Structure 1
Amino acid sequence: MLIRHINSLFTLTFVLNYASALTSDGLSLLSIKSAVDGGDTVFSDWNDNDDTPCNWTGVSCANISGISDPRVVGIALAGKNLTGYIPSELGNLAYLRRLNLHDNNFHGSIPDQIFNATSLHSLFLYGNNLSGDLPLSICNPNRLQNVDLSHNSLSGTLQKYLGNCRQLQRLILAGNNFSGEVPAGIFPALANLIQLDLSSNAFNGSLPYDIGQLKSLSGTLNLSFNHFTGKLPPSLGELPLTVSFDLRHNNFSGEIPQTGSFANQGPTAFLNNPLLCGFPLQKTCRDNGSTVVTPGTQSLTPRVNGDESKKGLKPGLIILISVADAVGVALIGLVIVYLYWRRKDSNGCSCSCSRRFGGNSKSKFCWFPCVSRFPNTDSEVESEKGDGGGGGGGSGGEGGKLIAIDKGFSFELDELLRASAYVLGKSGLGIVYKVVLGNGIPVAVRRLGEGGEQRYKEFVAEVQAIGRVKHPNVVKLRAYYWAPDEKLLISDFISNGNLASALKGQTSTILSWSTRLRIAKATARGLAYIHECSPRKYVHGDIKPSNILLDNEYQPYISDFGLNRLITITGNNPSSSGGFMGGALPYLTQTEKVNNYQAPEARVSSNRHTQKWDVYSFGVVLLELLTGRSPEFSPPTTSTSIEIPDLVKWVRKGFEDETPLSDMVDPMLLQEVHAKKEVLSVFHLALACTERDPDIRPRMKTVLESLEKIRT
Structure 2
Amino acid sequence: MGERILIPLLLSFNCLLFALAQDATNDFAVLKSLRDSWQSQTLNWEGSDPCNGWDGIKCNKNSRVISISLTDIGLTGQLSGDIGSLSELTNLDLSYNRGLTGPLPSEIGKLKKLSRLILVSCGFTGRIPDEIGSLQQLEFLSLNSNNFVGPIPPSTGNLSNLTWLDLDDNHLNGSIPVSSGTTPGLDMLHNALHLYFNSLQLPVFLHLGKNRLSGEIPPKLFSSKMTLIHVIFDSNKLVGSIPGTIGLVKSLTAVRFENNSLDGNVPQTFNNLIHVTDLLLSNNKLQGPLPNLTGMSSLQYLDLSNNSFDESSFPLWLSNLKNLTTLQMESVNLNGNIPISLFSLAYLQNVVLRNNNHISGTLDIGSNYSNHLKLLDLKSNSILDFKQRNDQLEGITIILVANPICTETGAMQEGYCNMHNIISDTKPQNKCTFGTCSPDQILSPKCKCGYPYTGTLTCRVPSFLEGRNISSLEEDLTHQLQSNNLPVDAVSLVILDPLSMLEFIIQIFPQGQDHFKQEDISRISLFMGNLSATSAFNFITGNQGGPKDSRNSSSTAIIIGAAVGGCVLLVLLVLAGVYAFHQKRRAERAISRSNPFGNWDPNKSNCGTPQLKAARQFSFKEIKKYTNNFSPDNDIGSGGYGKVYRGTLPSGQVVAIKRAQKESKQGAPEFKAEIELLSRVHHKNLVSLVGFCFEREEQMLVYEFVSNGTLKDALTGKSGILLSWSRRLKVALGAARGLAYLHEHADPPIIHRDIKSNNILLDENYTAKVADFGLSKSILDDEKDHVTTQVKGTMGYLDPDYYTSQQLTEKSDVYSFGVLMLELITAKKPIERGKFIVKEVRSTIDKTKELYHLHEILDPAICSGSSLEGFEKFVDLAMECVEDSGVNRPSMSDVVKEIEDMLRSVGLHLTSESVTSTSSSYRYQEVITVSSHQDHPCSNESFASSAEHLYSKNEPS
Query: For the superposition of Structure 1 and Structure 2, which TM-score range results when normalised by the shorter chain?
Result: 0.3 to 0.5
Q: Which has the higher contact order (CA 8 A, sep 6+)?
A: 1
TM-score (norm 2): 0.30
Q: Which has the larger radius of gyration?
A: 1
